[in-house]
Amino acid sequence: MYLLEELSREYKRISIVGMAKNAGKTTALNYLIEEAMDEDLLLGITSTGRDGEGTDVVTGTDKPRVFLDTGTIVSVPTQLYELADAGLEIIRMTQYGSSLGPILLCRVVDSGYVQIAGPVINAQHIEMCEEMLRLGADLVLIDGAIDRKSIAAPETSDAIILSTGAVLSRKMSKVVEETAHTVGLYRLPCLEDGRERNLLTETNGEQIMLIKEDELVVLDRSTGLGAGKYLDAEIDETVTHVFVPGAFTHSVIADINPKKLKHITFVLKDPTKIFIGATMWNQLRKKGLTVKVLENIPVAAVTVNPTSPSGYMFDHEELVNAMQKAIPDIPVIDVRM
């Protein structure tokens, strides 16, 4: 059984997320599209950025183009519609905007290459994916831009496919370490049902909040950035949980007394809010850092690209084996092979 067929049994919306530019995300997308063609699965295809162009508009490097089969439902901005080699039937012009004009919802009537892009607002992406499913798509693939981690949030996708590769580091061990770290973040435990979860979910969740033994304290801060000293002053022996609504970086906790870290649990909306590398994360965990989320998201598969655009490459079999050993319960695929 093909990977995509298995995934389509369990998920309806899958985001493909690259750990870095040139990690092989578009190659992974093409791999899955080819599987869908082989298995007669009808796909919906959209993107949080722009994909399918032959040359990267930022770096000037060559990129894989995106070939779509007849029947595929795809989102195309008006400015890219005429650039398609494929025959596209416009289902409707949506109200969703992009930097390349309004988004057209199209069906491929003659297979060929297409440049794709989608809405810039997550709520609109959710609506568009639902419409693609109503139009008959068996599965919607969302091509995620590297600077839009939010597309991997649980409300946007049912699962993610993580694309990684040699571009991350010249050391294979570092590539494996950072990838396994990212998978681990997506698997952070959810805050258990009970008083604490009820207190957090009953509020709007847009400000830092402290849960004490007998009350919920909402602070006049919507971000943890630069709030370390402020939090250190607020956290006393009665505080059990700290909710941070936005980005969770080292600076959020750098000024908090390490002794206090051992007695509180940080709570985030979801794992996409974390921006801490593997080495620093492990150091903080040793100091007693505990982090839970309100929602996490499954990592359905990991794809690896053993070649870096800088000219070096890893042995593909060695990379796949090392990655599979680090994350043994998730399929690891070298899509170039």
C-alpha torsion sign, points 29, 32, 38, 39: negative
Backbone angles phi, psi at 163, to 5 degrees: -105, 130
Mean pLDDT computed over 242-246: 91
Arithmetic mean of pLDDT over the chain: 88
Element (H, E) at 87: strand 87-93
Question: 3-186+298-334: what fold?
Answer: Rossmann fold (3.40.50)
pLDDT in tens, 124-144: 889 999 999 999 999 999 987
Q: Using the predicted structure, report yes or no on whether residue 264 has a pLDDT greater than 50.
A: yes
Question: What pLDDT, on the 0 to 100 scale, is given for residue 85?
Answer: 92
What residues contact residue 192 under an 8 Å CB cut-off, 6+ apart?
none
Instruction: Kindly report which listed range (63-67, 158-162, 181-185, 220-224) carries the lowest average pLDDT score.
Output: 220-224
Q: Which of 245, 202, 203 is nearest to 225 (CA)?
A: 245
pLDDT in tens, 202-214: 876 788 999 998 7
Cα–Cα distance between 115 and 125 in angstroms, integer?
Answer: 17
Question: What pLDDT, on the 0 to 100 scale, is given for residue 214?
Answer: 73
- Tell me if residue 18 falls in helix, strand or coil: strand
Q: Using the predicted structure, report yes or no on whether residue 197 has a pLDDT greater than 50.
A: yes
Output the pTM of the full model. Answer: 0.87
Confidence of residue 1 (pLDDT cuts 50, 70, 90): very low
Confidence of residue 120 (pLDDT cuts 50, 70, 90): confident
Q: Break the chain into its structural domains and give their ranges.
A: 3-186+298-334, 195-293
Question: What pLDDT, on the 0 to 100 scale, is given for residue 147?
Answer: 47
Query: Per-residue b/e over 188-227, b at no fewer than 16 CB within 10 Å?
Result: beebeeeebbeebeeeeeebbbbbeeeebeeeebeebeeb
Q: What is the dihedral of CA 270, 271, 273, 279, to 10 degrees?
A: 160
pLDDT in tens, 76-108: 999 999 999 999 999 999 988 877 889 999 999
